[in-house]
Amino acid sequence: MTTETTTNQSTRSESFFTPLFRQVDIAPLVFFRIFFGAIMLWEVTRYFDHGWVSRYFIDPQFHFKYYGFGWVQALPGDWMYGVFYLMGFVAILIILGLFYRLAAITMFVVFTYMFLLDQARYLNHFYLISLVSFLMIFVPANRALAIDTWIRPKIRSQKMDVWVLWLLRFQVGVPYFFGGIAKLNGDWLQGEPMRMWLSSRTDFPLIGQFFTDEWMVYSFAYGGLLLDLLVVFFLLWKRTRWIAYVPVLLFHLSNHVMFNIGIFPWFMIGATLIFFEPVRFRQAWNLLWALPRRFLPASDNAPQPQSTPPTPLKLSRAQWAMSIFLVVWVAYQVLYPLRHFLYPGDPNWTEEGHNFSWHMKLRDKEGTISFYVTDRNANFTWDVDPYDYLLPHQARKVFGRPPLILQFAHYLEDVYAAQGFENVEVRVIALVSLNGRTHTQLIDPTVDLTEYDWSLAHVDWILPLDRPLKETIVSNPENRSSQ
C-alpha cells in the first residue's frame, strides 16, 4: 500500500468523523443533566420512603448474581443506607453542576453497584440508567448553568460538540427500537401477554370496560409494537416530531397507571425530549431566565448563544479517541441486544439472551417449583421450599428463570455442606406456564444441577417449550412473574 493510498484513507476517515465535532447549542444537555439528577434524587427518596433499602439489600440472606459479577457483595449491616445517601448526594451535585465530573463518576459506580447486587431485581430501566450514567461522565454538562462555571470560569460555554446530542438521542432511542424488535414474536403478535394483563385491569379509567374486547387487545399489542419500531424515526423528522411525542406521552402514562413500573415512564417522558431541536431548549431557557429578571436588576449574565466555531478540519488525538469510543459504543448497543437469535428456543422461556436486550413486558410466567436435595451417602431426600430461604420478591422470580434456579441450587448445596452433608445433589421440578400456556416442565428433573455452572453458552437442561397458546387463562397471582 503506497503512502498516497494510506493518506487518502486517513483523509476519508477524518472527513467522516469531523461532522461529529460541529458545535451546537448546549441547552439540551443542560436540561438533560438537571432532569437526570432530579429523577435519580426522586428514585433515592422512593427507596427510603418504601423501606426498600432494607428489604432488597439488607434483609435477604442470599442475592442472585449476574454472570461474571459474583464478586459484587452487599455491604454489611446498615452500610447499604450509606450507599443510597451517597447516591442522593451526588444526584444533587449533578443538578447543581458542582464537581460534576466526580459526581457523574460516583453516580455511575454507585448505581451500577446497586444494580449488580441482585439479578432477581433486574429491570430494563435500571440497565438503561446505568448506561446513561456512564455516558454522563464524558459529556460537558457542567459548562453552563452550573456552579462549576463559577469556580472555573474558563470552562463556561454555550456550545458543545454535536456528537453529545446524537449520542444521547441514540441511547434513548435504543430501548424503543429494540423493544419493538423483541415484540416481533408469535406470542405478542397473537395478543399475549397483553390479553391477560388487560383482562385484569378493567377498572382502568374510561376505556377499561373495553379491555376484554379483542379489538382493544390487538390495538394495545400492535400499537405498542408500531410505536416502538417507528417512533424514533418520527422523532428525528422535524415535521412529525410533535405528532410523535403525543403517543409517547400517552404510552408512558398508560404504562405508569397499568403496570406501576417506577420511574421508567417518567424518565422516558423527559429523556425523549432530547430529540427536539436545541433551539426549543434555548427558547425555554430564555423564558425561564426572563422570569426572575422582572424582579431583579438587569444583568449581563443571561445565557446567550455564542458564535459557532468552525468544524475542525483535522481531528486531535482526543477527538480521534472519542470517535473510536462512539463507534465501539454504538456497535455494542446494536449487536448485543440481538444475541438471543443465537440461542435455540424462545428467550422468554429459556431466559437465554433475555436480559440486557430490551425485552420489556413480553412474558407472564406462573407456576410452582420444588427443589429436592438428596444426600448421596444416606440416600435421603429433602423437599425444599424456596420461600424458606428467599424473600417473597426473590422467590416469585426464581421459579421461572433458569439462571436463578441454577444459582439457588448451588446455594442449597453450600447450605447443606455447611451442615455436614458434603455429598448432595439438587434436582428441580419446575412447572411453569408462559403467557397462559398449559403448565409444563421448565427444567429437566433428572439433572443434578450441582454438576453445572452457568455460562453464556446454551444449556441442555432447560427443556424446550412445546405448549401452544390457549384461550382460557387460569393463573395464581401469588406465583407470577412478569417483565
Where would I find the H helices in 97-145?
100-116, 124-136
> Is residue 9 pLDDT above 70, yes or no?
no
Q: Which residue has the higher pLDDT, 361 or 116?
A: 116
Question: Which tens digit of pLDDT belongs to each residue from 99-110?
Answer: 999 999 999 999
Beta bridge partners of 256: none
Q: Name the CA dihedral angle for 276, 277, 278, 282, rounded to a multiple of 10 degrees.
A: -80
Contact in structure between 428 and 368 (CB atoms under 8 Å):
no
Distances (CA, A) of 191 to 9, 358, 369, 383, 480: 51, 19, 27, 37, 19
Q: Is 7 exposed, middle or buried (0-12, 13-18, 19+ CB in 10 A)?
A: exposed
Mean pLDDT of 40-57: 96
| DSSP secondary structure string for all residues of 300-319 | S-S--PPPPPPPPSS--HHH
> Is residue 299 pLDDT above 50, yes or no?
no
Instruction: Record the cell numbers describing residue 217, joined without a space.
Output: 387487545
pLDDT band at 13 (very low <50, low <70, confident <90, very high): low
Question: Which tens digit of pLDDT belongs to each residue from 363-386?
Answer: 999 999 999 999 998 889 999 999
> Is residue 304 pLDDT above 80, yes or no?
no
pLDDT (0 to 100) of residue 288: 75
pLDDT band at 475 (very low <50, low <70, confident <90, very high): very low
Mean pLDDT of 409-437: 94
Q: Which residue has the higher pLDDT, 474 or 458?
A: 458
Q: Alpha-carbon distance 98 to 75, whole Å?
A: 28
Instruction: Record the cell numbers describing residue 61, joined without a space.
Output: 440472606
Residue 245 DSSP code: H
**CA angle, 261 as apex, 252 and 401 as ends, to 5°?**
125
Question: Which tens digit of pLDDT belongs to each residue from 346-369?
Answer: 999 999 999 999 999 899 999 999
pLDDT (0 to 100) of residue 480: 56
Mean pLDDT of 240-244: 94
Contact in structure between 481 and 365 (CB atoms under 8 Å):
yes
Give SS3 for 427: strand
Q: Which H/E stretch holds residue 370?
A: strand 364-375
> Is residue 483 pLDDT above 60, yes or no?
no
pLDDT (0 to 100) of residue 294: 47
pLDDT band at 14 (very low <50, low <70, confident <90, very high): low
Q: Alpha-carbon distance 180 to 183, whole Å?
A: 5
Mean pLDDT of 462-468: 93
* pLDDT > 90 fraction of the chain, expressed in percent and rounded: 78
pLDDT (0 to 100) of residue 166: 97
The letter for the amino acid at 201 is R
